[in-house]
Amino acid sequence: MRYGATGLPGARWAVAILLPLLGCCARTTPVDYSGPTAGWSAWGGNEGGMRYTPATQITPGNVRHLKIAWTYRIGAPQLAPAHPTDPAQVPGLLAKGITPEAMRLPALEATPILAEGRLYVCSSSNRVVALDPESGREIWSFDPKLDATGTVLMVCRGVSYYHDVQAAAGSACASRIFTGTQDARLIALDARDGKPCPGFGNAGTVDLKEHLGAMRPGDYGVTVPPAILGDRVIVGGKITEDMRIDMPAGVVRAFDARSGALLWAWNSVPPQAEGVTAEGTYRRSTANTWSVFSVDSQRNLVFIPTGNAQVGLYGSTRDSDGRDYYAASVVALDGTTGKVVWHFQTVHHDIWDYDVPSQPVLFDFPTAQGPVPALAQPTKQGYLFILNRETGAPLVPVEERPAPQQWAVEGEHLAATQPVPTDPTYNLQRPKFTEQDMWGFTPWDKAKCRELFRSKNYEGAFSAPSLKGTVTYPDNLGVMNWGSAAVDPVRNLLVINTSHVATVAQLVPREQADARFAKGEWLLAQAGTPYAAQWTAMLSPWGAPCNKPPWGELVAIDLKAGKRLWQVPLGTTRDLAPFPLWMKIGTPNIGGPLVTASGLTFIGAATDNYLRAFDNATGAELWKGRLPAGPQATPMTYRLSPQGKQFVVIAAGGHKYMRTTLGDYLVAFSL
């Protein structure tokens, strides 16, 4: 018999050593059930989009123990067989305003909501499902049979919940799920069984194309959850941008949540203009309202982030009737009448696609005189505007700064100034680029990026698109996009993710554009103007952004102290590059964060397949959970009962534009 150095027999020696180690590794932290329960009743967590939960079961101390609790597959979209795939058909389709290669880009960007003990969420083809929150089991589903003809990007970011306090308990459609579709319908479903509510509109559906006038397939639709304010369901709409000057109106409408009757409509034309033309249609090509609204029930206000009037990269056609007046703005409307209470424009005469992409975040801003009802508006150009939500006045000072005046094409004019927060804490835009800021994995690809930079026009932010091509930073996806910010109202902390990528904006004279269309090339048509347009990503020959990293960051701002608390890279090249080129470099991202009362920020968004948790005190990454596809979405969290666990749920569907892994998953984590 052999003995180890301890004098024990070899097998017994091994057991004596390994058992304590195995016990250590198997030990788990007991789940604390003493904290509060919490829901997630709206897309942004609450009606004001704070993306905050009072749930405290998952903490910085135990988050490393999170594991996948359940996975649900919502199903890939089924496109109509009539959609052509042959590139030879592209020129003819372009002439009809249809973009077959683009409409084949489904994106699962939805955030579920929790209501009456169920999760509700939609797929990229507008299929709505109800799930058991603790198991992921499907309870019911509703398929609106979407007509996706001409749709540029197939996406549904969420649905909304409404409860009729006047309805008898347990009656049909006493509680409703509202969903807008990409083919321009507003649908009311019974929250119990998913059946259309017969008393709403026409058998549960309101046709949103009414009074919009002539349109082509894919011109107009809804991709975000409707807003609920009292007994009103309020909805805007997106359009296919930069195709032609004659597009449907960017009108916002309020409907009776019970009957579907139209209560009011606001079209984003100047105050002196009429909202509806003599022909009975809303004034066309006004700024669309594609992103998520917020509401303040106490003040009876709805806050609208507006897009661009058409077309985007050549603005002179908008001047004659003042359609820029409400474009690229946040607008406060009276919830009863739809009248404008105030508006704040974030970009003047926008020709960079710097429309307002993010849900306004409503919170109380700490000041020396006490808390003030406020609104945080993230923007593509990288500015975070903090406004008094009752008046629209800046709570963080804003000044008009001179903007570049070079390279405007014939017929265009440029805004002389642009609004900028004076406190650099709220300016998340990178400083002006130089040739030295170009980057590469090797001297060779860095040199190629510098060569590309020298070949284009550039004079800092707001450099005009040009015939030669203009380096545009931020790019049109922006420093901040639809994921918006999260606010912890107890710690006075705002957390937001940012992207930092440059692109090239170029205008193409009409004759040249027509010749390129005839060859089957893809451009933004901008029909009705002298110029088509194109965006070209500013990438190295190896496909990496030419500007130096980090290309994505997570930023925390102490609102009371008025300073950045921390700023860390977000994302790695794990799912974009082969091993060993997996670098924690910070990557471009789409999606948003949530914050918890226990001191955590959860976020996916990056171009690797992970959901991450960060320490709100330090910015340290404490945990990451592997996902089956890209998490280009915003997570949500809930805890149903005092005996239950806290779950964190995120959609993992990927995004073809960002080259992330595609899928159709909802993934839930718990301790």
CA distance 205 to 185: 6
CA distance 393 to 176: 36
**Active-site position among 353, 445, 575, 664:** 353
Tell which residue, 409, 303, 308, 294, has the closest CA to residue 356. 308
**AA letter at 36:** P
CA distance 181 to 202: 15
Tell the burial category of 169 from Cβ atoms under 10 Å away from its Cβ (0-12, 13-18, 19+).
exposed
Tell the burial category of 510 from Cβ atoms under 10 Å away from its Cβ (0-12, 13-18, 19+).
middle
Write out the two tokens for 105: 């880009």
Neighbours of 446 (CB within 10 A): 16
* 3-state SS, residue 436: helix
Tell which residue, 398, 216, 228, 201, has the closest CA to residue 296. 228
**Pairing relationship of beta strands 154-155 and 106-107 according to DSSP bridges:** parallel
Q: Is 190 a catalytic residue?
A: no
Write out the two tokens for 418: 């642009």
CB 111 within 8 A of CB 149: no
- 533-536 own/partner pairs: CB under 8 Å, 24+ apart: 533/242, 533/312, 533/313, 533/314, 533/465, 533/505, 533/506, 533/507, 533/508, 534/505, 534/506, 534/508, 535/475, 535/476, 535/503, 535/504, 535/505, 536/469, 536/503, 536/504, 536/506
Neighbours of 130 (CB within 10 A): 26
Q: What are phi and psi of 521, to 5 degrees?
A: -75, 155
The residues that are catalytic are 353
